[in-house]
Amino acid sequence: MKRAVRITTLAFAVTLVAAACGKSNTAGSTTTPPTSATSASPVCAHAGPQIKMALLYDLIGRGDKSFNDSAAAGLDKAKCDFNVDATELTPNSGGTNRAELLNEAATQGNQLIITVGFLYAETTGAAAVKYPDVKFADVDGYVDHTTCDTCVDETATGNLASLLFAENQGAYLVGAAAALKSTTHHIGFIGGVDIALIQKFQAGFDAGAQKEDPSITIDHKYITEPPDFSGFNLPDKAKTIAQSMYQNGADVVYHAAGGSGSGLFQAAVDYSNTSGTHVWAIGTDSDQYLSAPPEQQPFILTSNLKQVDVATYDTIQAFSQSKFVGGIQTFDLNNDGVGYATSGGFVDDIESQLNDLADQIKSGAIVVPDTLT
């Protein structure tokens, strides 16, 4: 009898669209928006045998300018490069039918199923046990594979992959950028929900800022506490928090709050216009400068890149080459899974310093904390 899968939910960062479908060569790479149905189509190879797969989004689905769109960008790139027949599914507004969607996808002949977000972790783990002939991958959902007979072992590939990220490494770099750019020696951090993964962002951000300015003041505020996950989609509350931080002296504020981040960007615009003092905002997971409206772009210093598109694309590519590997896969600075954005040119003057820090992280000279002390 198969043992039950034990799930540890790390959490997910619902974020604006990251869309670079290939990998970059530097930590300071930028991304491009995902291709829409109406965009000019590139020349596509559609090479290899057909891959029948399903991509299961989190709430809202494709078009959220967030975490889902990043995964969609990776899928779009894979559709162009490989012979992919993809079904895209989105849960209901309460997210209560995730298990039903997984069963639907698994029984419709899909060979590969990718789920987006930690809230799929438990159901994806259960589906991997129920459908051992189907390959599964979950973005941000950590499964303890040692308790799952069908997931992975030392000699077999397994049928379930956990696609995780070293978000704290990218957060370290934007934390350093915040400290280097601050003229008040006072910055802020806004978290969407007070959970382990978002604390991971904070830990990296604080460490990077304190590396460059040991005496810097850092304000912290989480929008909601679990089990209330609405903090990832409450821009009005993020705006209020950001306004308070700016009024209290912070001149750079970073968010790890998903869709709520747009409230931070608007607060930076409004405060700068009313006070006559230019303040900065920092985005997360994607190059949010690229998806922000023009009036907000001059206030977005940089973004902590989390390449969900890369993880999605790489998983499809590996499957197409019969190289799918189950188990935990981490995307970090060494494989271009995280980084910082340079759009707007606002960090050009400190780019060499940030890249030096990135090199030290890659070499192990700097070990970035992933938990709060």
Amino acid identity for residue 94 in this structure: G
Q: Which residue has the higher pLDDT, 371 or 150?
A: 371
Q: Do domains 6-166+308-335 and 167-305+341-363 have the same CATH topology?
A: yes
Using one digit for the tens of pLDDT, what is the confidence trace for 320-345? 999 999 999 999 999 999 999 999 99
The domain segmentation of the chain, as residue ranges, is 6-166+308-335, 167-305+341-363
Kindly report which listed range (2-6, 50-54, 170-174, 338-342) carries the lowest average pLDDT score. Answer: 2-6
Instruction: Say how far apart CA 53 and CA 82 lie, in whole Å.
Output: 12
pLDDT tens-digit profile of 258-281?
889 999 999 999 999 999 999 999
Spatial CB neighbours of 128, under 8 Å, sequence gap ≥ 6: 5, 134, 136, 148, 150, 151, 159, 160
Is the pLDDT reported for residue 77 higher than 70?
Answer: yes
Q: And the tokens for 46?
A: 């559609």
Least confident range from 11-20, 140-149, 165-174, 197-206: namely 11-20
Quick one: pLDDT at residue 45?
75
Q: Which CATH class is domain 167-305+341-363?
A: alpha beta
CATH fold of 6-166+308-335 reads Rossmann fold (3.40.50)
Q: How far is Cα 68 from Cα 73, in angstroms, rounded to an integer?
A: 9
Give the whole-angstrom CA distance, residue 100 versus residue 92. 11
**Closest to 257 measured CA to CA, from 193, 353, 315:** 193
| Percent of the chain topping pLDDT 90 | 71
- 191 pLDDT higher than 60: yes
